Amino acid sequence: MDMARETARLFDRMRERRPLVHHITNYVTVNDCANIAICAGAAPVMADAIEEMEDMVAIAGALVLNIGTLNERLVASMLRAGERANELGIPVVLDPVGAGATPYRTETARMLLDRLEVSVLKGNAGEVATLAGSEAKVVGVDSHGVSGDLLSICEDFAVRSGCTVAMTGPRDFISDGARSFIVENGHGMMEKVSGTGCMASTVVGALVSGKEDATVETAAALAAFGLAGEHGAREAGGPMSFKTALFDAMDGLKVTELASEARVTRL
Amino acid sequence: MDMARETARLFDRMRERRPLVHHITNYVTVNDCANIAICAGAAPVMADAIEEMEDMVAIAGALVLNIGTLNERLVASMLRAGERANELGIPVVLDPVGAGATPYRTETARMLLDRLEVSVLKGNAGEVATLAGSEAKVVGVDSHGVSGDLLSICEDFAVRSGCTVAMTGPRDFISDGARSFIVENGHGMMEKVSGTGCMASTVVGALVSGKEDATVETAAALAAFGLAGEHGAREAGGPMSFKTALFDAMDGLKVTELASEARVTRL
Amino acid sequence: MDMARETARLFDRMRERRPLVHHITNYVTVNDCANIAICAGAAPVMADAIEEMEDMVAIAGALVLNIGTLNERLVASMLRAGERANELGIPVVLDPVGAGATPYRTETARMLLDRLEVSVLKGNAGEVATLAGSEAKVVGVDSHGVSGDLLSICEDFAVRSGCTVAMTGPRDFISDGARSFIVENGHGMMEKVSGTGCMASTVVGALVSGKEDATVETAAALAAFGLAGEHGAREAGGPMSFKTALFDAMDGLKVTELASEARVTRL
């Protein structure tokens, strides 16, 4: 399979569907997630009241759970929405922001993985390694100080968890245990902006709503988002003008560009 | 009455007053609301703790209630602040974000309309039609798939609810039952940015603090905000650079421009 | 001491440390705080669940408490995190947003000052004067209608409270009672953007993590942030393009520029 063309095809289909992506997410980067969803071609909804969890997720194409500013109330809503999504066959993406930074985050992420059928677990190296039980040290919510074979961590954890595991960083690793991919799109400026990890999860949510193949869809999402970062960086004078350009580039990303510039490799 | 000149006059008066607009709003677009208030010439305050609702609203010129990410705690604060605003004669604007998407949103918006004297109900077509009891289907929080005569829906609902009803979209309809207006300012780019609906409600809040005529003030607010969108779109390369330009244009909007470019028509 | 060179030295050291700044803050400007931390050279973490307060603050270099959208749950978390920070010798910065606007804010800020050892209290003139017991009138959260000798208010309150007191405005006053400084960096455009006060507190948090001298570090932080504002204003067309440029300028600020352009005066 030509992965760049497959990426382009999946992205194009997503735009045709304009999927509603239900987020239960943090209050730091929530606006960025809403806007990147729109720029990618999806429709965002952010809702976390337990009273409406089952109704909201039922009209969504995917559910994105992000524990960036978790609390007891949000966790209860995540469980309720996740269980309903599972019943309805709606894909669930989990972004375990800050897993490893505190026991509360690590344990909550593990509990969500245990209790819900998560389609895609997407974190940075530290977060994924923590949940995989590797020796990893996470400082705050954005560190990557993880040693060991990153791909092996993803593969092993995918087998054990039954999820597609995506580990983002300078290179993104995606594995479902049986198949693994590397995505080499992206730009160093993405590390200088709060929320690019959360935004990536939003784009993954948009893509996996297609329910064709969550692993390939995740790789396609990370390639498309990374490519938007590359395009955005062309004209940026600093982190925040880059951020503006990233959104514009996501909106303007052409399917033909994806087909020629996506760098997704099956291992 | 020359509606463009009246729009300009009301906007100018608002800037002189620099009204404090108290928001109880969602965590997605709250920063946008704060900044559009400042750029319009008002002063924002976002506060939702029940302990301070009565004190905060008492020093405000208007109260904006936005149910974008409602929950039980916020709803209680909305009631408390709204009741106090009613006692003090402070105008209340309700933005029923996502009404129709879930019963919880629809019922909460209806309850707020029942329990409070709302000056202006401002939503998109789907939201307003839902609350009016029309046959409407709302997907997520930003759909406009509403059939039927939009203006009639506004007029009828204004009569029944006693509010000024504003339905935003490519054209904005505003009615209090006795009088109706169409605002034709705006730009298609405004649909590509999360939060323009919420920002519009903020500007409505700023204008209705004048307590001259909520219906005309609402039309003036939507014209001014729409015109800022038109000006912002002149130089935008994509949704996010447009968003930046929209704020700058709101800040730079001249009263003379409003007087010549506002497109407000009384029907 | 050459205060400009000292400012440059402290800022350079901060960037080398890349301190984690733990925020318990409002949902209005939280994204701005996260990004200004990154642009300044620090690492932000926003976390407010009481379950993880002790763990999170323990890995941080400083704790920033901002009451912009306080509520009972957040206040409990602030106390828990603050007490642990005090035990561990981690500096605490308090930004009493809106103190004076409502009794709830004023009393909460006072309670936090009483119960915690706050290193730096940083507010605008109205907020500081309110807490100091001066005659002041605060409208909303951003007014500066304070009469009286601003510096005296800071000095007296620093002596009584045992904190470094920083009062921001067109000129920033910083005092610990024994020593006082004026910072004259900054730009009028900073008043046109929501969140610059909150961002300033973030930069103060980053600097005081050095634990050399909280008063000088606070002056250095306000000078660096103000200078970024000056640089950002060079190319701004309005408040929001200014905001974008402010972040880029913070990121691009050179130590040599600080050493020559910081305007910090010891009184």
Domain positions in chain A are 3-266
Distance from CA of A54 to the nearest CA of B (A): 9
How many of the other CB atoms lie within 10 Å of CB of B117? 15
Structure confidence at residue A142 (pLDDT): 47
pLDDT, one tens digit per residue, over A213-266 is 999 999 999 999 999 999 999 988 999 999 999 999 999 999 999 999 999 999
Return left, alpha or beta for C205; rule: phi > 0 is left, psi -120 to 50 is alpha, else beta: alpha
Is the CB of A31 less than 8 angstroms away from the CB of B26? no
Structure confidence at residue B1 (pLDDT): 81
Is the CB of A35 less than 8 angstroms away from the CB of B194? yes
- Between helix A239-252 and helix C30-40 the angle, nearest 10°, is 120
Q: Provide the CA A24 distance to its chain's centre, in angstroms.
A: 13
**Backbone angles phi and psi of C235, in degrees to 5:** -120, 15
How many of the other CB atoms lie within 10 Å of CB of B12? 16
Distance from CA of B157 to the nearest CA of A (A): 26
Would the CA dihedral through A52, B166, A21, C74 be positive or negative? Answer: negative
Distance from CA of B50 to the nearest CA of C (A): 8
Q: What is the DSSP string of A42-90?
A: -EEEE---GGGHHHHHHT-SEEEEE-TT--HHHHHHHHHHHHHHHHHT-
Is the CB of C249 less than 8 angstroms away from the CB of A239? no
Structure confidence at residue B139 (pLDDT): 45
Structure confidence at residue C143 (pLDDT): 46
Per-residue confidence at A134, pLDDT binned at 50, 70, 90?
A: confident
pLDDT, one tens digit per residue, over B187-245 is 999 999 999 999 999 999 999 999 999 999 999 999 999 999 999 999 889 999 999 99
Residue C138 has pLDDT above 60, yes or no: no
Q: What share of chain A is helix, strand, coil (3-state, %, to 5)?
A: 55, 15, 30
Q: SS3 for B18? A: coil
Q: Which amino acid is at A219?
A: A
**pLDDT mean over B29-43:** 98
Q: What share of chain B is helix, strand, coil (3-state, %, to 5)?
A: 55, 15, 30
- Taking alpha carbons only, the member of B227, B219, B235, B213 closest to residue B255 is B227
Name the interface residues of C facing B (CB cutoff 8 Å).
Answer: 26-29, 31-32, 68-72, 98, 101-105, 139-142, 192-195, 237-241, 243-244
Would the CA dihedral through B164, B18, B185, A19 be positive or negative? Answer: negative
- Taking alpha carbons only, the member of C207, C199, C170, C219 closest to residue C26 is C199
Tokens 């709503």 -> residue = A209
Residue A139 has pLDDT above 60, yes or no: no
Contact predicate A232/A246, CB 8 Å: yes
Q: Which of B72, B98, B238 sits opposite A247 (nearest CB)?
A: B238
Per-residue confidence at C142, pLDDT binned at 50, 70, 90?
A: very low
Question: What are the tokens at A121?
Answer: 């677990």
pLDDT, one tens digit per residue, over A21-53 is 999 999 999 999 999 999 999 999 999 999 999
The pTM of the full predicted model, rounded to 2 decimals, is 0.96
Give the span between the Cα atoms of A150 and A132, in whole angstroms: 11
pLDDT, one tens digit per residue, over C106-132 is 999 999 999 999 999 999 999 999 999
Per-residue confidence at A185, pLDDT binned at 50, 70, 90?
A: very high
Per-residue confidence at A140, pLDDT binned at 50, 70, 90?
A: very low
Give the span between the Cα atoms of C140 and C98, in whole angstroms: 6
**pLDDT mean over C167-179:** 97
**pLDDT mean over A155-176:** 97
Percent of chain C having pLDDT more than 90? 93
Distance from CA of B141 to the nearest CA of A (A): 7
Contact predicate C8/C261, CB 8 Å: no
Q: What share of chain C is helix, strand, coil (3-state, %, to 5)?
A: 55, 15, 30
Which residues of A fall within a CB distance of 8 Å from C23? none
- Sequence-distant (≥ 6) Cβ neighbours of residue C100 within 8 angstroms: C106, C126, C127, C129, C130, C136, C137, C138
Which residues of C fall within a CB distance of 8 Å from A189? none
B48, B104, B196: which to substitute to probe chain A, counting the most A Cβ within 10 Å? B104
Q: Which of B46, B47, B251 sits opposite C192 (nearest CB)?
A: B251
Name the interface residues of A facing C (CB cutoff 8 Å).
Answer: 26-29, 31-32, 68-72, 98, 101-105, 139-142, 192-195, 237-241, 243-244
Q: Which of B45, B51, B52 sits opposite C140 (nearest CB)?
A: B45
Contact predicate A57/A90, CB 8 Å: yes
Which residues of A fall within a CB distance of 8 Å from C73? 71
pLDDT, one tens digit per residue, over A63-120 is 999 999 999 999 999 999 999 999 999 999 999 999 999 999 999 999 999 999 999 9
Residue A136 has pLDDT above 90, yes or no: no
Beta bridge partners of A136: A146
Name the interface residues of B facing A (CB cutoff 8 Å).
Answer: 26-29, 31-32, 68-72, 98, 101-105, 139-143, 192-195, 237-241, 243-244
Give the span between the Cα atoms of A64 and A82, in whole angstroms: 9
Percent of chain B having pLDDT more than 70? 95
Q: Which helix (H) or strand (E) holds A183?
A: strand A180-183
CATH tag for A3-266 (out of 3.40.50.720, 3.40.50.2000, 2.40.10.120, 3.40.1190.20): 3.40.1190.20
Structure confidence at residue B134 (pLDDT): 81
Question: What are the tokens at B31?
Answer: 């920063």
B18, B20, B38, B45: which to substitute to probe chain C, counting the most C Cβ within 10 Å? B45
Is the CB of B247 less than 8 angstroms away from the CB of C237? no
Structure confidence at residue B235 (pLDDT): 83
Structure confidence at residue A235 (pLDDT): 83
**Could you tell me the maximum CA-CA distance found in chain B, to the nearest angstrom?**
47
In this structure, are strands A120-124 and A164-168 parallel, antiparallel, or unpaired?
A: parallel
Residue A135 has pLDDT above 80, yes or no: no
Structure confidence at residue C163 (pLDDT): 97
Structure confidence at residue C148 (pLDDT): 61
User: What one-character DSSP code corresponds to residue C61?
Assistant: S
Beta bridge partners of A26: none
Give the span between the Cα atoms of A24 and A30, in whole angstroms: 9
User: What one-character DSSP code corresponds to residue B99?
Assistant: B
Percent of chain C having pLDDT more than 70? 95
**pLDDT mean over B121-129:** 97
Burial (CB count within 10 angstroms: exposed 0-12, middle 13-18, buried 19+), residue A12: middle
Q: Which chains touch A (3 or more CB pairs under 8 A)?
A: B, C
Structure confidence at residue C134 (pLDDT): 81
- Taking alpha carbons only, the member of B174, B185, B159 closest to residue B250 is B185
Structure confidence at residue A146 (pLDDT): 58
Element counts in chain C: helices (H) and strands (E):
11, 9
What mean pLDDT value characterizes chain C?
A: 95
Structure confidence at residue C140 (pLDDT): 47
User: Nearest chain B Cα to A74, which residue?
Assistant: B71
